[in-house]
Amino acid sequence: QSVLTQPPSVSAAPGQKVTISCSGSSSNIGNNYVSWYQQLPGTAPKLLIYENNKRPSGIPDRFSGSQSGTSATLGITGLQTGDEADYYCGTWDSSLSAGVFGGGTKLTVL
Amino acid sequence: EVQLVESGGGLVKPGGSLRLSCAASGFTFSDYSMNWVRQAPGKGLEWVSSVSSSSDYIYYADSVKGRFTISRDNAKNSLYLQMNSLRAEDTAVYYCARGGYEPDYWGQGTLVTVSS
C-alpha cells in the first residue's frame, strides 16, 4: 500500500486533456515539494515536474503540475499516443524520514 | 551529459549478499545527494535509500533498514548499495538516481533476482 494515492489508470482520446491526482497527508505533500515522473515501457523514469509545478528543460508545456493542501495534480494537454506511459508522483515524508511514491497511474491514449 | 550507470545485479539465493554500484559522470558528483529506488517486476517505484553529498545524512526505507547499506566515494564518482540478508521480495530493478527529495536523472537500472 503506497503512502501516496493515485488512480490506477486514466484514459482519454488524442488531443484531449487528462489529469492525474496524487493524494497524501500533511507529513508529505502538505509540507514538501511534489515531483512527477513518466515511465515509458521498458525504460527508466523521467522527471516531468519538480517543486510542484516546474518543468525541467526539454519538457513541453503540455505537462503541468499543481498542488493544493495534501493533494497534487499532473495535467497533460494535447494528448499524443507517445504519452502512453506510467506516471508516478513522489515526495519526501517528514514523519517517516523517507522518500515516498504513489502507486503509479497508467495512461492510455485511446 | 549526465550519465548514471548501475552494475552488480544478478541472481542470488535468499539470505545472500550483493553489492550494487553506480558510476556517475557529466556532473560534479560531490555536489549532489543520491538515491537508490527499486521497482519489482510489474510493480511501482519504491524508494530504498538516500545519502547526502558528503554522507552526513543517510536514510533507509523500513523494508531494507538493517540489511542494506548505502555509501558513496566522491573521489571515484560512485554510489554503492550493499545488500545483505536478501529476500525474495527484494527482487527488482534497482535504479540509481541523482538528487535529494526530487531525483532528476536516473540510470537504466540493474536487475536483482533473489531466488533459490
What is the per-residue pLDDT for A21?
97
What is the per-residue pLDDT for A46?
97
What is the per-residue pLDDT for A2?
86
Mean pLDDT of B47-54: 97
B32: chain A residues, CB-CB within 8 Å: none
Of A43, A44, A99, the CB nearest to B50: A99
Q: What is the pLDDT of residues B4-36, one digit of tens each?
A: 999 999 999 999 999 999 999 999 999 999 999
Please state, in angstroms and rounded to a whole number, the distance separating the CA atoms of residues A83 and A12.
Answer: 11
What is the per-residue pLDDT for B39?
98
SS (HEC) of chain A: CCCEECCCEEEECCCCCEEEEEECCCCCCCCCCCEEEEECCCCCCEEEEECCCECCCCCCCCEEEEEECCEEEEEECCCCHHHCEEEEEEEEECCCCEEEEECCEEEEEC
The edge-to-edge listing of strands for the beta sheet with B3-7 is B3-7, B18-25, B78-83, B68-73
Mutation target for B interface from A89, A92, A93, A106: give the one with most B CBs within 10 A.
A92
Phi-psi region of A62 (alpha: psi -120 to 50; beta: other; left: phi over 0): alpha
Please state, in angstroms and rounded to a whole number, the distance separating the CA atoms of residues A14 and A109.
Answer: 6
Indicate whether B101 pLDDT > 90: no
Q: What is the pLDDT of residues A45-102, one digit of tens each?
A: 999 999 999 999 999 999 999 999 999 999 999 999 999 999 999 999 999 999 999 9
Please answer whether residues B38 and B105 qualify as being in contact, where contact means their C-beta atoms are separated by less than 8 angstroms.
no
What is the per-residue pLDDT for A103?
97
Q: Are strands B10-12 and B110-114 parallel, antiparallel or unpaired?
A: parallel
Please state, in angstroms and rounded to a whole number, the distance separating the CA atoms of residues B10 and B83.
Answer: 12
What is the per-residue pLDDT for B49?
97
C-alpha grid cell, residue B60: 533507509
Percent over 90 (pLDDT), chain B: 98
What is the per-residue pLDDT for A33?
97
Name which residue leads in pLDDT, A20 or A1. Answer: A20
Please state, in angstroms and rounded to a whole number, the distance separating the CA atoms of residues B112 and A26.
Answer: 34
B107: chain A residues, CB-CB within 8 Å: 44
Please state, in angstroms and rounded to a whole number, the distance separating the CA atoms of residues B104 and B25.
Answer: 14
Indicate whether A1 pLDDT > 90: no
SS (HEC) of chain B: CCEEEEECCEEECCCCCEEEEEEEECCCHHHCCEEEEEECCCCCEEEEEEECCCCCCEEECCCCCCCEEEEEEHHHCEEEEEECCCCHHHCEEEEEEECCCCCCEECCCEEEEECC
Indicate whether B100 pLDDT > 90: no
Phi, psi of A106 (to 5 degrees): -90, 120
Percent over 70 (pLDDT), chain B: 100
Taking CB atoms and an 8 Å limit, are A104 and B62 in contact across chains? Answer: no
Of B61, B104, B109, the CB nearest to A44: B109
What is the per-residue pLDDT for B91?
98
Mean pLDDT of B50-72: 97
